Amino acid sequence: MQYQLKTRQICLFFVAFLPVTKIFMLPSVFEKFAENDMWISCLCNIILDLAAVFAMIFACRKADTDFFGLLKNSFGNVGSKIILSLYVVYFFIKAIMPINEQKDYIEITFYATLPNIFTFVPFFLISFYISVKKIRVIGRCADVLWAITSLGFLLLVGLSVSNVDIQALLPFGVRGAKSILSGSYSALSWYGDSAYLMFLIGQFAYKKKDGLKIFFTYLLASFAILLFMILFYCIFTSTAHRQIFSLTEISKYSSVIINIGRFDYIGILLILFASVFSMSMPLYFASLILSEITGIKKSWISALIINGGMFVFLMLFSEFFSTVQYYIFNYAGIYFLILGNLFPLFTPLLKTEKKKNALYQN
Amino acid sequence: MRYIKTKIFMFAVAAIFIMFFSNDFGLIDIEKNAIITAVAIDKSIDNEYEVSAQIAVPEASNKNPENKKALITGKGSTVGAAIKNVGGISGWFPKLTFCNLIVIGQSLTEENIINVLDYFSKTLRIQNSALVLLAEDSGKDLLACTSPLDNISSFALQKILFKNPGFDVDIAPTDIKTFCTDYYSNAHSSFMPLVKTVEQSDSGQQNSGSSNTPSPSQTEQNPSSSSSSSSSSSSSSSSSSPTSSSSSSSGQSSANTLFDATTTALFFKGMKVGELDTDSTLILNILTRNASLTTYQLKNVNENQYEENYLITILRNYARMDMSATDSELKVSFILDIYCKIRDQNFPIPDLDYSDNSSLPSMVKEKMEEQLTARINGLLETIRQTKCDVLKIKQNLFRHHYGQYARYKDNYLEVMKTEVHVNVTGQK
Amino acid sequence: MKLSTDLKKNIKEIKKRLTSQDIEFLDIKAGNLDGVLIFVKDITDKESLGELVLRPLSKLQGNVGKSELSDVFLSPEKKLVTDTDDIIDQVLSGFAAAIFDSVSEAFTFGLIKFEKRAITEPPTSAVIKGPREGFVESLPVNISLMRRRIKSSNLQFENLTIGTYSKTAVAICYIEGIADKKLVKLLKKKISEIDIDAVLDSSYVAKFLGEHKTSIFKQVGNTEKPDILTAKILEGRVAVFVDGSPIVITVPYLLVEDFQSPGDYYNSAYSATVARIIRLFSVVLSTLLPAFFVAAELFHLQLIPLSFLLTIVSSIKGIPLSPSFEMFFTLMIFEILNEASVRMPKYVGMVVSIVGGLVLGETAVSAGIISAPTLMIVALSGICLYTVPELEQTFSLIRLLFLLVAGSFGGYGLILAMAGTLIYLVSFENYSTPLFAPFSPLIVSDLKDGIYKGFLIEQTNRPESIKTHNKTRMKIKGEK
């Protein structure tokens, strides 16, 4: 079995790609439901994801084939294809919110008068380009992007810290379980990144303590998001829900910015750069799975189907996106929960290579 | 396949070249953008919003090194419509990104101010960090002033409002975000600086305009003999010491205007409910912000023997609010610790004292503590009267005594018992 | 065709093919044997020919056979050739060939004498501190420069000849026991497969060694300095010398190589690190600055600080060109000046600098054709790129591409173009070596000679980025 990735790359994958898509619109979504308890909502999502990661680490430990192989061993050819088809849809829907929010972000904050099509179409060329690449390239991208994400993130957080009123989080838990869980439920579309790890099973040589490394980097990335959520609320408090794009807003009240100018844009641009890759990940995995299901050898065909499909979808529904958002928030959550969080919990139970069974039978 | 790839590549390059050279996709030429540096909002007689946009009009660099400004007023039934009207009548695309100042005219204080500020709070086309201030009269007139500080009045106003560390914190500035956050908070209480114009004549002498504020030079030469004062003056203040916020000029222009922003307008539920004078503004700042290097004037320390006046620099200030809420009582204590140093006095002191880092004279300490306590109590009284909770007492109640919040949220200002503890330490 | 014992027939056959007038056919005699000496007049050392070949021949008397002939010649580079094709090839390479009647073998002597350039410091990699020797156009001289530095039997040279007409000598150089054998084998295969009329420079060979034929990125490294080459082959790289070229090719190539200046290894690690950061920053700045400026001017005014924006607006007032076209135009003028100054003789070069820099720039700004900020940005961008001269051509193309994208799609387009470039770079491999190593894949130990320059004593192992058979290059006393 030839491994395409190193454990280091898996760890950096999470550091590079996890935080960036969650710091555009998600903070205001959380705030809308849970107000000063938004960080608890966020924590709930993190716990769900970490549980899935924990389970998958066990699967990685014993896996002697990739996830496709594990599914085939456990559910047979047809069964595995059905499950994989569900994951194609999962990743496709998972991509909608981050891509659309970024499209809006670019249009509203970066371009004043330009028609939509010009600003965002090129993104699909890049996501297509990423989708045709082997998983090894994704690992290599993570090798570089973790530094870019970290730098951008630290710059924005560093600039915003001075304006934080940390007591704004008090009193804890007063918004009630319903509000907190509603926030978590609505945010499921952004979370469930642990599902990526499923498709990375068998792509790297699992060594002792690798599980610990993966778990802790995932934890680190998740807590970076949590920190951002806390900072966000503590800066904006009662008007947090109005800040649709927290990325641009969070750091501009620093006295350094006021005196020197908006050099926080350096951090914003770094995050935007990393988010191009991060947004492409669901599309990449959807293309990868589609190739596996259909047996298409040429990766560009499945990449074209998925990326072209997403482009057409967003263009068609651009004027009715609030409806799409409503359905994703209210109805798709359960789908995300099952495929992104619950199914991964059972991956350690998937059967390993058939050969072993055959040998045993012999 | 390779042939197709080459064709696609050639097509893409050709398309990019066409787009690059044509720029024909809805772009607005940089010169057609109106770089709005400030807006003033007033209400007209016909009950419409009047938005006056101060636009920086850069001159060709080889002609004039200084930038010109234009003040264009648009009208509309909403603020957004009025801004749109500015673009309509000027032919410029109103670019609010650089607008860092919003001047509210007095005429708008009769309605909920949030009707105006919400537009700026919601739109992403303006920075939420833009400063907000209340003009003494018309916002447009304030922006139309010519100031020796900068040929663009909004820049001059920003110089007054944004003070770098090292200056006196005698102004309570606010921005859109802070104002709206305070408005939407539990206490619905917010504030903004009230800016008054101070006319200065050619000779360098300052004639008070609408406020009877003496010029810095005058006041420094003729210190008032009133009981005591902070470092700033205002019409509402009993003192008449120098106006630190109104910087003096060398008197380049015949109609030079300086600005005094040391008074603060208070808002409750978006309505203007009162003002804080210079002294109260200073106290508000000392209680809520880092006020290091702020100067404080202490007068008549030794009333019976000799008139001893001091200029004291605050080196460190630490303020906190302690609250205890029970079913029967709501008690709020304000604790203020100040460490300061005497910078100047109006009588000679022995040379030896200069090198002696001895502690603050007890008379000075006592007088200062007494004065600060009185002013904090005065501020609390203003809060009670106006219901504008600028000290965020209600927020504290919500955050730290949530169990009693429901009991006191509506009457906390009436029932709360307050205590003030001021501790002044320092050196000569 | 095999040589026969009939001299006349052999000579007739050779003369039929060597018709050029600079080829001399000199009748000689060895005892009772008639013979002909064939050589190219202008490239043969006639003095050595007389001393080492003709004088000993004249001493032979009576019956002379093949064995006598073999012993008489004093030339150290002596070969026996049996084929007319080989004789012709060797004569054209500067050898002299002696053919005798009734002997079916010819003797060839290496008596080449070319005019050679002196060993000087290469202009492209001048150093303040460190060796100043540079390679020259002569392969033997270049080999001698390497041998002087590595006196090990493991230093291997494998000779090949390429070019249908040029018959250019090529030597593959590596250190046995360090270099990857598979790489050497693959290189030999690739070079021997080159079928071309002539190889005029090593860059010809380089084109054939790259695995991505249409890439704008360099795929092989090169150097003109023997000290650099020594360091490179000691890291496990394989070098290709081409006769007639002072530039030696090295494979595999890493992008980071070009940020490593020779001076870095002779100066302190601290100053080398600062210099490398400056180089990296300069290349990034140079590539992105014009594009970013145009994107900001056209689409994102908010990215420009207000005071600077006012300066820009005041400087572009009355300029007839759009910001994107203005930048493109200025950049083109810069490239024209650059091209002209490289091609022009040195004494005219100064004039071009003055005319281009002062007269054209100043006049264009005051005439209102271009704005001062644009001119300054192009000048800064141009200068910055020369901190890494090896990458100047590649990155000036990327700069142009980014400018086109930024002018068409704005800042987000620029971000996407950068993302595309990153994906391309990280997926780019040549000879199974990732171009972007040690950054991607991240090889922490190799970063010591990447962005920062570690201390020499820290670099105990050869780079992990390059496949080698022996990882250790330094043992510190006391360490096992």
Least-confidence region, from A75-79, B206-210, C256-260, C349-353: B206-210
Return the pLDDT at B207.
41
Q: Could you tell me whether strands C106-110 and C95-100 are parallel, antiparallel, or unpaired per DSSP bridges?
A: antiparallel
Residue B95: list chain C partners with CB under 8 A.
Answer: 301
Identify the residue among C311, C401, C412, C414 best suited for mutation to test binding to A, counting A beta carbons within 10 A and taking the highest.
C412
Least-confidence region, from B311-325, C222-236, C328-342: C328-342
Nearest partner of C458 among C469, C466, C447, C442, judged by Cα: C447
Return the pLDDT at B82.
93
- To the nearest whole Å, the CA of C219 is away from the closest chain B CA by 21
Q: Is the pLDDT of residue B204 over 60?
A: no
Decide if C298 and B23 are in contact by the 8 Å CB cutoff.
Answer: yes
Return the pLDDT at A310.
95
Interface of A with C in 28-87 (CB under 8 A): none
Where helices occur in B206-253 by DSSP H, the ranges are 216-221
Interface check for C452 against chain A (CB to CB < 8 A): the answer is no
A14 occurs within a structural domain:
yes
A2 occurs within a structural domain:
no
Which of C403, C427, C451 finishes a domain?
A: C427
Cα(C398)–Cα(C396) distance, integer angstroms: 5
Q: What is the dihedral of CA B272, B278, B284, B286, to 10 degrees?
A: 160
Report which secondary-structure segment, H or E, holds A328. helix A321-330
Give yes or no for a contact between C180 and C236, defined as CB atoms under 8 angstroms apart: yes
Q: What is the share, in percent, of chain C residues with pLDDT greater than 90?
A: 46
Q: Give me the mean pLDDT over the A298-322 stretch.
A: 92
- To the nearest whole Å, the CA of A151 is away from the closest chain B CA by 24
**HSE, side-chain direction, 13 A CA sphere, residue A161:** 7
Range of the domain at A156: 7-357
Q: Is the pLDDT of residue A287 over 80?
A: yes
**How confident is residue B164, by pLDDT bands cut at 50, 70 and 90?**
low
User: What per-residue string of b and e applies to B290-324 under the rule 16 or more CB within 10 Å gives b?
Assistant: ebeebbbbbbebeeeeeebbbebbbbebebebebe
Residue C305: list chain A partners with CB under 8 A.
Answer: 260-262
Which residue of chain A comes nearest to B129, CA vs CA?
Answer: A253
**How confident is residue B255, by pLDDT bands cut at 50, 70 and 90?**
low
Which of C408, C427, C446 finishes a domain?
A: C427
C129 occurs within a structural domain:
no
Residue A237: list chain B partners with CB under 8 A.
Answer: 181, 185
Residue C317: list chain B partners with CB under 8 A.
Answer: 31, 58-61
Name the token pair of A45.
Answer: 């999502």
Could you tell me the CA-to-CA distances from C31 to C51, C56, C72, C265 in Å, in that order? 18, 11, 12, 62
Q: Give me the mean pLDDT over the A138-155 stretch.
A: 96
Backbone angles phi, psi at A269, to 5 degrees: -65, -35
Question: Contacts by B401-410 with C-beta closer than 8 Å and gap 24+?
Answer: B401/B323, B401/B324, B401/B325, B402/A170, B402/A171, B402/A174, B403/B325, B404/B325, B404/B326, B404/B327, B404/B330, B407/B325, B407/B327, B408/B325, B408/B330, B409/B186
Return the pLDDT at B64.
55
Which residue of chain C comes nearest to A12, CA vs CA?
Answer: C442
How many CB atoms lie under 10 A from the CB of residue A312? Answer: 11
Interface of A with B in 99-138 (CB under 8 A): 108-109, 112-115, 118
Q: Is the pLDDT of residue A273 over 90?
A: yes
Statement to judge: residues C252 and C290 lie in one domain: no
pLDDT digits (tens, 9 = 90+) for C117-136: 888 988 878 888 888 899 99
Give yes or no for a contact between C9 and C65, defined as CB atoms under 8 angstroms apart: no
Q: Could you tell me whether strands B310-325 and B330-345 are parallel, antiparallel, or unpaired per DSSP bridges?
A: antiparallel
Return the pLDDT at B234.
34
The full length of chain C comes to 480
A195 occurs within a structural domain:
yes
- To the nearest whole Å, the CA of B175 is away from the closest chain A CA by 9
Nearest partner of C180 among C449, C442, C431, C441, judged by Cα: C431
Residue B60: list chain C partners with CB under 8 A.
Answer: 314-315, 317-318
Backbone angles phi, psi at C336, to 5 degrees: -65, -45
C288 occurs within a structural domain:
yes
A351 occurs within a structural domain:
yes
Could you tell me the CA-to-CA distances from A90 to A275, A283, A285, C309 in Å, in that order? 19, 10, 10, 46
Decide if B402 and A236 are in contact by the 8 Å CB cutoff.
Answer: no
Q: Is the pLDDT of residue B241 over 70?
A: no
Backbone angles phi, psi at C278, to 5 degrees: -60, -45
Name the token pair of C323.
Answer: 């910001």
Residue B394: list chain A partners with CB under 8 A.
Answer: none
C446 occurs within a structural domain:
no
Q: Is the pLDDT of residue C310 over 90?
A: no
Total domains present in chain C? 3
pLDDT digits (tens, 9 = 90+) for B102-159: 999 999 998 899 989 988 888 877 888 899 999 999 999 999 888 777 878 888 888 8
Q: What subunits touch chain B, counting only 3 or more CB pairs under 8 A?
A: A, C
pTM of the complete model: 0.87
A362 occurs within a structural domain:
no
A182 occurs within a structural domain:
yes
Q: In the block, which residue shows the tokens 């298409």?
A: A296
Name the token pair of B297.
Answer: 């004037």
For residue B185, the 8-state DSSP code is S
Return the pLDDT at B218.
35
Q: Give me the mean pLDDT over the B285-311 stretch.
A: 82
Q: Is the pLDDT of residue C66 over 90?
A: no
- To the nearest whole Å, the CA of A95 is away from the closest chain B CA by 25
Residue B1: list chain A partners with CB under 8 A.
Answer: none
Q: C202-209 and C181-192 are packed helices; what angle lies between their axes, rounded to 10 degrees?
A: 110
pLDDT digits (tens, 9 = 90+) for C154-182: 999 999 999 998 889 999 999 999 999 99
C338 occurs within a structural domain:
yes
Average pLDDT of chain B, as a whole number: 80
Interface check for A111 against chain C (CB to CB < 8 A): the answer is yes
Interface check for A245 against chain B (CB to CB < 8 A): the answer is yes
Return the pLDDT at B226.
34
- To the nearest whole Å, the CA of A353 is away from the closest chain B CA by 38
Statement to judge: residues C156 and C226 lie in one domain: yes
Burial class of B247 by CB neighbour count within 10 A (0 to 12, 13 to 18, 19+)? middle
Which of C427, C443, C460 finishes a domain?
A: C427
**HSE, side-chain direction, 13 A CA sphere, residue B170:** 30
Dihedral sign for Cα atoms in the order B358, B361, B365, B371:
negative
Total domains present in chain A? 1
Q: In the block, which residue shows the tokens 């996830």?
A: A67
Strand ranges (E), B44-90: 49-57, 68-76
Give yes or no for a contact between B69 and B155, defined as CB atoms under 8 angstroms apart: no
C314 occurs within a structural domain:
yes
Which residue of chain A comes nearest to C412, CA vs CA?
Answer: A119
Statement to judge: residues C414 and C295 lie in one domain: yes
Statement to judge: residues C243 and C282 lie in one domain: no
Decide if A6 and C441 are in contact by the 8 Å CB cutoff.
Answer: yes
For residue B59, the 8-state DSSP code is P
CA C162 centroid distance within chain = 17
Least-confidence region, from A284-288, B167-171, B349-353, C271-275: B349-353
Q: Give me the mean pLDDT over the A62-68 stretch.
A: 86
For residue B60, the 8-state DSSP code is P
How many CB atoms lie under 10 A from the CB of residue C250? Answer: 22
Range of the domain at C189: 139-265
Average pLDDT of chain A, as a whole number: 90
Decide if C405 and B16 are in contact by the 8 Å CB cutoff.
Answer: yes
Interface check for C402 against chain A (CB to CB < 8 A): the answer is no
A1 occurs within a structural domain:
no
Q: What is the share, in percent, of chain B residues with pLDDT greater than 70?
A: 78
Dihedral sign for Cα atoms in the order B104, B109, B113, B116:
negative
pLDDT digits (tens, 9 = 90+) for C201-237: 999 999 999 888 888 899 999 999 999 999 999 999 9
**How confident is residue A354, by pLDDT bands cut at 50, 70 and 90?**
low
Return the pLDDT at B121.
86
Decide if A257 and B129 are in contact by the 8 Å CB cutoff.
Answer: yes
**How confident is residue B167, by pLDDT bands cut at 50, 70 and 90?**
confident
Q: Give me the mean pLDDT over the B80-102 stretch.
A: 88
User: What per-residue string of b and e applies to C124-151 under the rule 16 or more CB within 10 Å gives b?
Assistant: ebebeebeebbbbbbbebbbebbeebbe
Tell me how far apart the terminal alpha carbons of chain C are, to the nearest angstrom. Answer: 61
Give yes or no for a contact between B234 and B260, defined as CB atoms under 8 angstroms apart: yes
Statement to judge: residues C256 and C284 lie in one domain: no
Which residue of chain B comes nearest to C372, CA vs CA?
Answer: B61
Cα(A133)–Cα(A291) distance, integer angstroms: 12
| Identity of the amino acid at C418 | M
pLDDT digits (tens, 9 = 90+) for C450-459: 888 888 888 8
Statement to judge: residues C102 and C81 lie in one domain: yes
Statement to judge: residues C191 and C337 lie in one domain: no
Which residue among C299, C404, C409 sits closest to B17, beta carbon to beta carbon? C404
Statement to judge: residues C219 and C73 lie in one domain: no
Which residue among B124, B181, B398 sits closest to A239, beta carbon to beta carbon? B181
Residue C412: list chain B partners with CB under 8 A.
Answer: none
C477 occurs within a structural domain:
no
Return the pLDDT at B225.
33
Decide if B16 and C404 are in contact by the 8 Å CB cutoff.
Answer: yes
Statement to judge: residues C309 and C421 lie in one domain: yes
**How confident is residue C313, by pLDDT bands cut at 50, 70 and 90?**
confident
Average pLDDT of chain C, as a whole number: 88
pLDDT digits (tens, 9 = 90+) for B366-404: 889 999 999 999 999 999 999 999 999 999 999 999 999
Statement to judge: residues C209 and C353 lie in one domain: no
Return the pLDDT at C457.
81
Residue A119: list chain C partners with CB under 8 A.
Answer: 409-410, 412-413
Output the domain CATH number for residue A192: 1.20.1740.10
Cα(C369)–Cα(C364) distance, integer angstroms: 5
Statement to judge: residues C274 and C372 lie in one domain: yes
Residue B121: list chain A partners with CB under 8 A.
Answer: 239, 242
Statement to judge: residues C362 and C335 lie in one domain: yes
Decide if B184 and A239 are in contact by the 8 Å CB cutoff.
Answer: yes
Give yes or no for a contact between B94 and B53, defined as CB atoms under 8 angstroms apart: yes
Q: What is the dihedral of CA C42, C44, C50, C53, to 10 degrees?
A: -140
Could you tell me the CA-to-CA distances from C169 to C7, C202, C248, C249, C367 in Å, in that order? 30, 11, 13, 14, 56
